[in-house]
Chains A and B, each alone.
Chain A
């Protein structure tokens, strides 16, 4: 690779930013796709793999006596600090990474070299897993009111829309084309969600080019057609998701919003969601708070409030709730737009769909939802997530916010979602990883031109294959919470919006619950199922051979034993517990050398094993601590309790817990 100035640097120190533990010494490798750090400790040789596409910034800090520090921030919120002994090496690594993390053409991205060893057929099957035509059929479309339109064949009308678009039957090609000319980037109103119970629908578009007084007959007819497609209602809501001020400013540029007087039977509504620049800055501010070392509660809450992040999340959710309510309770169709109709509109439409339809709360349905409202309708993944080197002002955590909305809902409705938090985290990871082709480019058109489906693999197939990892054990299809529309509590509800440490501090394992309820329950569920099957077999035998005395107690005991073992393994897996710095002036303590290996953050990293399984992501179940508990408890020497295995010695407690 011509961009790699130095493929290997030895004696690099890898600083654990969270614990004040001594740095790990090892070797740093640069490859075409990854940065790899391998620890020198011979038994473990722990590896940390970071995809170039995950790197969001590299910071070379002032050289110190110990070497030259390099700070790498990742888009999945991992932060890595390296100290490279030689300034020259550091510079080389820095320059190489600057280039490697800013690819200029799609072919440089990892998905074009990633090979999960599937044959051609499997690859094709993978891409067919999510089929949007099937999805519209599921909604009950085409029907008397809605039809598929081929007006955008060959992307002739709108190059950021898919070729197949669903529109009201009464909207002729003439109306569609006319309307598209009156809309930013020609993104005319098209169907996003249809509720077959009451014919209400959610449509989406970009802003009208209304300026101060312009009108467009076809656009007015288009909205009329949408209204007519819902015989139960005599008006539609037009929801502009921008703050009113922003929308008004757009009028000066010949854009703007619908004038209620010009359209028959619309009700116009602003919902103030801020633009991508505000959101980018907000995330930036929140991440600064997450990065603080041992902040006080006040620092943290002030910082969180100051970032405005949760306020923005709530604004998006409120918009979704408004639309879901209009559709489900009032039976009124809604047209949603923002400026271009590919950021806020995508967020709001998908939140509303998720609230309305239980299907989108299943594993498969959620993939379909992202495919429908984000991928097919031309959300600009490449620009927003900076896959290729581009304008930094285009970058914004738009889909991250949607994913967080889903998490906030999961917290409020723990039984309503078939998938778990890990599923969301892995999707977020892969939106940035470029390991799969799904989220490449800015539109369907670009993806077709690149022949993504022939040259890369689909994330959905990969997630589907590993779906057991992503299941929520509390989900039951027949549970009351799963049914129908979700009604999140509205006022007062501010306290229901919580900081998502599982995402933004996901690599700071010490902050999270040390025992995974989900994993344990999942294991219980599986075991119960197995035992029931076993039991069935036994019962069958019993009825067949009545005289044979089967010791049923055995079954019962077996069941109990298994349960015990299960629980043990579940807690073994998850006890990754070490004391933190609770003391700030115990430096006089004698230094006690750690007697345990440094296994602490094995789950934080992307190991070779994980990579092979094409899942370079952390997995809560892969802790290497498992068994630590047992071994240590019974160790005759008993010198050191397992909970001390971090090897953190108290005299290195530089971090202050009690900044009084």
Chain B
């Protein structure tokens, strides 16, 4: 397939672009394989035409057309929630443009996407891809305890197609057993270590040296994740699986299985071959059910309803609140945060082990394990640590980004597997940031950038559904990593929270409705002006930085002193 086949009209003059909050501009519209460009006509005084719009076509979620006599208006509803209007003279041009955008934005093949073509001068390929290998994290864990080992059972993605090649499991379970367990867990997702919780990190570091592999009380807690056990209606059991979980307890009296489905749903899953760990078979493990919406319609529809409410200017105060309520988005935020807090609390306060799973173990499971780590672990709250976490607990852990983020809130296409699980995670992190304004090293801007890039990106980081697919598509060899871009010094600065200071504590959020807020920076980003809030942010930066770097007079004095005597 050639892109040029999809582009019916590549260039139209005198197109009027308008969008919320910006004055309308007229210019020349161009369509390239991946971008929509609009450059304004040069002004009368010899002014250069400027590019007013540079839109990744992949970012277009829905295209709507409207015609009036000889011209047509195309409304572009973008995945980043922006809504743009193009008034195009000429019916035919308008139709052509619309169908070109439609065709280009719905190209299915991963290999045809922009990241495979994007070649910025300032960056080298393969640069960021080795920054955050989960491997490194697992090696750290293994270095600290002999109870866990790195396994290469999934080297060629044969045991579990959605796991990365490096995984970490209890040392006593050999690869053969893992293969058996993989058959007993949905998607082959046998229980693996997700997080190793070192309590009292600041108290003593030397203690671990002379301790045996399974120390008693002060042993670090672990969090595992997996797919559901394939018990089926006959309550099948798997000895190796039971052994693995027993070994994970590390001699501790108890562990908790946090099932992100209701007890009812877990029971029903047996009819289709799934299920949840029975108490009798897994001694010491207790099941907790916390139903979270993730798969399929409810969460996606919640997202769509919320965005619709935000975009509806006709709502009165009362109707706005009831629309907000009926979208249920904040209820999902509350449920996700509560469940993550429960997991964190089980580890931190009950000193128990945790196993998290839902059905597949690729959605709500990751939502809970990743959020719990942000709550528990100060390292995950740094800019770099957060990227580590995303790589380990979302990307490498096999969250199917390609499927989940195929469409955003506006698409009229029939829903397939879309669900804003990752967005929900970012929203929850944002809630933590609001409640603990000094404790996250990164700012809301990073979360926004991650949201945008997860839906449409110039980088390969969020492409595909698993490591296996990425390796087949040679994503690492032929696309740039988002991380290498984010970590350029000038970019980094953009995403840092000026108020950050390291906080070794667990950050327990409030999940009361009074404490949870609509994420205005995202949902209202294109609707309300943020000028005054941006000014406030700049003022905060000015204040904090003014106190950190020497002031101008100070700087002068400084340079004076540097002069040789």
A residues with CB within 8 A of B: 290, 294-302, 304-305, 308, 310-311, 314, 412-416, 473-474, 476, 479-481, 489, 491-499, 501, 505, 508, 510-515, 517, 520-521, 524-525, 527-528, 531-532, 535-536, 538-539, 542, 549-552, 555-556, 559-560, 563, 567-568, 570-571, 575, 577-580, 582-583, 585-586, 588-589, 592, 629, 633-636, 638, 641-644, 650, 657-658, 660
Contact = CB atoms under 8 A, between A and B. Distances in A.
Contacts of B328: 297-298
B18 to A, nearest CB: 17
Q: Which of A302, A304, A650, A657 has the most CB of B within 10 A?
A: A657
A453 to B, nearest CB: 39
B313 A491 contact: yes
B341 A582 contact: yes
Contact of B508 (A301, A515, A580): A580
Interface in B488-516: 499, 501, 503-508, 510-516
A296 B331 contact: yes
A358 to B, nearest CB: 14
B317 A641 contact: no
Contacts of A579: 341, 344-345, 348-349, 506, 508
B564 interface: no
Contacts of B349: 579, 592, 644, 650
Given A524-B544, A643-B506, A582 B557 contact: no
Contacts of A643: 505-508
B291 A660 contact: yes
A302 B325 contact: yes
Contacts of A496: 528
A311 B543 contact: no
B281 interface: no
19 contacts: A295-B512, A296-B513, A304-B321, A305-B325, A414-B539, A493-B528, A494-B317, A495-B528, A498-B517, A501-B514, A520-B438, A520-B499, A532-B551, A542-B560, A556-B558, A582-B345, A629-B504, A638-B200, A644-B349
A556 B556 CA distance: 12
A43 to B, nearest CB: 24
A148 to B, nearest CB: 38
Nearest to B351: A592
B435 A297 contact: no
B204 interface: yes
A650 B345 contact: yes
B243 interface: no
A582 B511 contact: yes
Interface in B513-565: 513-518, 520, 524, 527-529, 532-533, 535-536, 539-540, 543-544, 546-548, 550-551, 553-554, 557-558, 560-561, 565
A535 B536 CA distance: 28
Contact of A583 (B345, B435, B504, B514): B345
Nearest to A513: B435
B288 to A, nearest CB: 7
Contacts of A308: 318
A575 B507 CA distance: 9
A495 B291 contact: no
Contact of A474 (B290, B318, B436, B540): B540
A282 to B, nearest CB: 12
B553 to A, nearest CB: 7
A491 B21 CA distance: 12
B558 to A, nearest CB: 5
Given A297-B334, A415-B535, A521 B544 contact: yes
B215 to A, nearest CB: 14
A588 B288 CA distance: 12
Interface in B424-452: 434-439
A165 to B, nearest CB: 36
A492 B315 contact: yes
A570 B349 CA distance: 26
Contact of B510 (A481, A511, A531): A511
Given A583-B288, A644-B349, 19 more contacts: A297-B328, A298-B325, A305-B321, A416-B532, A474-B539, A480-B535, A481-B532, A495-B310, A495-B320, A495-B324, A495-B518, A496-B528, A521-B544, A524-B544, A550-B561, A567-B438, A578-B508, A589-B350, A660-B291
Contact of B505 (A296, A492, A589, A642): A642
Given A524-B547, A563-B547, A579-B508, A635 B203 contact: yes
Q: Which of B338, B436, B507, B557 has the most CB of A within 10 A?
A: B557
B202 interface: yes
A305 B436 CA distance: 28
A239 B324 CA distance: 33
Nearest to A523: B547
A542 to B, nearest CB: 7
B501 A567 contact: yes
B317 A311 contact: yes
B288 A585 contact: yes
Nearest to B263: A660
Interface string B408-438: 0000000000000000000000000011111
A283 to B, nearest CB: 16
Interface string B312-330: 1101111011101100101
A209 B417 CA distance: 67
A476 B539 contact: yes
Contacts of A311: 316-318
B402 interface: no
B139 interface: no
A524 B561 CA distance: 26
A493 B527 CA distance: 9
Interface string B295-316: 0000000000000001011011
Contacts of A304: 321
A521 B543 contact: yes
B429 to A, nearest CB: 15
Nearest to B335: A658
A344 B318 CA distance: 21
B103 interface: no
B505 A535 contact: no
A614 B282 CA distance: 62
A357 to B, nearest CB: 18
Contacts of A299: 513
Q: Which of A290, A481, A580 has the most CB of B within 10 A?
A: A580
Contacts of B515: 501, 511-512
A560 B548 contact: yes
B10 interface: no
Contacts of B513: 295-297, 299-301
A577 B501 CA distance: 16
Contacts of A559: 547-548, 550, 554
